[in-house]
Structure 1
Amino acid sequence: MAATEPAGSRHRNEAGPVGDQVRANLKFFRARQGISTTQLARLLEALGRPILATAITKIESGDRKVDVGDLVALALALRTTPNRMLLPDYGPSRGQADVALTPTVTVFPDLAWAWASGKQQLLAAEIALGHGEESPFEVLEEFRRNALTTAERQHADHTAVRAAEAVLSSIRGILDRIDNPVRYDVEDESRARHPDSAARLGPAPATPEGLRARLRSLIAEIDALIGDDSDG
């Protein structure tokens, strides 16, 4: 006799928060580009992934799911990327809603994008998964092995690339601090309470002093890579 699931244990496989975001993004990009469902259906047919106009309407209303092949074709047709179809836009607005990736993993939009771009694993996911034996460095290294291509890993390991990424991170941090100063209050207060530790760590990345320090490091790395102009 076949085993059966306990009563009430079966549930419909809902699209979830990411599925809802895909629907919202589909509507958004169609509207912004002035593409009707009929026109989008023609574009998808040209890509070899036909979806009827009525099916597109059902996707937007939540009556039809989007599989992986559909997602890629929709992104191509709408001149965007699968990541942008999966995640919300975000900007300097302080009222930006958190991003629910699963029912148990909700993060700031910038963290969701950093994860999707292969920059970092999400602490919220590690907590939800019950991982705690590995150090943050080990988690990051494992994430990079899995998320980046071989070429990306090789380039990312170069000291000049790391220095350039540190500069970009500082610039983004300064811009974010301007728009969301409260997010940095805890770090500032901690540095003020522990001046010796703060001195050893160097200037905070999201500050003018931190950016200048990273720019100096980048210039030194560039000189080592291609030579100092004064050498000629």
Structure 2
Amino acid sequence: MTEDKKNPLGPSGNQVRLNVTRIREARGLTKKDVAARTAGLGRAIPALGISRIEAGTRRVDADDLVVLAMALGVNPTALLLPNTTDGEIALAGKTVPASDAWEWADGERPLVLPADDGSAHVDFQLHARPPFRRRYYMGTSAGRQLAEQDGMRLVEDTDVVRIETSEGD
């Protein structure tokens, strides 16, 4: 008799296993190929481990996720989310539009957008992305303040608006 798992795969874990299979097969790779690639990257996951991941009987931790993404030639988000922006998906017990999940996972915006003055966007950018990789929403005072805090300044030409570093780089 088998015991029930104490902590079974959730929707994200299930999506990872489905995406590992989908991407591996789309690239024409065997489980042994993926295992060899992970070993070459310094975090070996044997072919049996790949089989168990795909079957949902082996969990993927953060380090596994990164090495699998590298071995499959994708970013970690491509393993975490479905390969679509249509419909809704489950994330940690919450159902959200897939397009919102992708924008959140790509660091574009908070997963849930409150009705505010744009400060939630700015706060998300402040903590989700390093300076110079942030999205500055210049239509809000909070966005302009974040850009200034990061040493950016708004330059307006006749045809172009661009953001430069304070040093003019």
What range describes the TM-score normalised by the shorter chain of this pair?
Answer: 0.7 to 0.9
Aligned residues: 144
> Residue 49 of structure 1 aligns to a residue in which SS?
coil
Q: Aligned pair in 2 of structure 1 residues 219, 80: CA closer, same or farther (>3 Å)? A: farther
Q: Aligned pair in 2 of structure 1 residues 158, 142: CA closer, same or farther (>3 Å)? A: closer
The residue type equivalent to 2:73 in the other structure is R
> Residue 132 of structure 2 aligns to a residue in which SS?
helix
1:98 maps to what in 2? 88
Q: Aligned pair in 2 of structure 1 residues 12, 151: CA closer, same or farther (>3 Å)? A: same
- For the pair shown, the structure with the greater C-alpha radius of gyration is 1
Q: Name whichever structure is richer in helix by fraction.
A: 1
Report deviation, 1:39: 1.1
Matched, 1:120 2:109: yes
Q: Give TM-score scaled by structure 2 length.
A: 0.75
Report deviation, 1:117: 1.1
Identity of aligned residues (%): 33
Q: Deviations over 1:64-100 (max 9, x none)?
A: 0001111000001101000111011115xxxx44111
**Structure 2: how far apart are the matches of 1:116 and 1:67?**
17
Q: Deviations over 1:26-76 (max 9, x none)?
A: 000111011111111111100001011011101111110001111000001
**Structure 1: how far apart are the matches of 2:41 and 2:117?**
42
The residue type equivalent to 2:49 in the other structure is A
The residue type equivalent to 2:107 in the other structure is G
1:151 to 101, 115, 132: 132
Q: CA RMSD in A?
A: 2.8
**Structure 2: how far apart are the matches of 1:82 and 1:220?**
41
2:147 maps to what in 1? none
Q: Deviations over 1:97-142 (max 9, x none)?
A: 4111111x21111110110111111228x7xxxxxxx935232221
**Structure 2: how far apart are the matches of 1:29 and 1:66?**
16
Q: Give TM-score scaled by structure 1 length.
A: 0.56
Name structure 2 gaps, 5 residues minimum: 144-155, 163-169
Q: Name whichever structure is richer in strand by fraction.
A: 2
